[in-house]
Structures are given as C-alpha cells and as structure tokens.
Amino acid sequence: MRSKEYLTNVLVAPHVSEKTARATEKANQYVFRVRHEATKTEVRQAVELMFSVKVESVQVLNRPGKSRMFKQRRGRRNAIRKAYVRLAAGQTIDFTSTEK
C-alpha cells in the first residue's frame, strides 16, 4: 500500500458534467480527474481513504489532448485521465459538505 501522503494527491478533482450527474443518479458512480501515473488500485485506496466509503469497482480512461489553432498557431490541449468509481450499495459521496 502506498503512503497516505501519496494517496491524498492521487485525486486531482471531481469531474462534473451532465453525463457524470446521470451516472451518479443511475449507477452510483462518481468521476474524478486523477494523476496520469495513478493505477486502479491507487484510485480505489485514495477514494476509500478520503471519503470513508467502500469502492466496488474502478474504471480508468485516458482522454488525449485535442489539436487546436490559437491565433494562426497550432496548439494542443492538455490530456486528462479520468476514473469512474462505483461505490457499494448505500454508499454516497457528498462534495458540498464543508466538514474539516
């Protein structure tokens, strides 16, 4: 198992969109942007550590950056890595709580 310090830096941010809102309602899945070198096991451990929930499964995907034009110059958007985390039945994550 990785150190707690490392695991707290695995999750970059929750990924919020209409698609992720539907996944949360229907399948009890939450989507996080994660570090590029993070593995499924590390994502599972990080979510369980930070939110005190039981993770059922993790699916990770890489989204490559798109090529775009910026004022007559070619550029590239950043690539991101997302993790779809399915929680056990009855478990939820509340992103709005301000608990310390």
pLDDT digits (tens, 9 = 90+) for 31-78: 999 999 999 999 999 999 999 999 999 999 999 999 999 888 999 999
Q: Quick one: pLDDT at residue 1?
A: 66
φ, ψ of residue 35 to 5 degrees: the values are -65, 150
State the Cα–Cα distance between residues 78 and 58, nearest whole angstrom. Answer: 23
Helix (H) or strand (E) holding 11: strand 11-14
Read off the pTM.
Answer: 0.85
Alpha helix (H) residue ranges in the chain:
4-7, 18-27, 40-51
pLDDT at residue 100 is higher than 70: no
State the Cα–Cα distance between residues 100 and 61, nearest whole angstrom. Answer: 31
The token duo for 78 is 């950043």
Q: Quick one: pLDDT at residue 97?
A: 64
Mean pLDDT (the chain) is: 90
Q: Quick one: pLDDT at residue 70?
A: 87
pLDDT at residue 99 is higher than 90: no
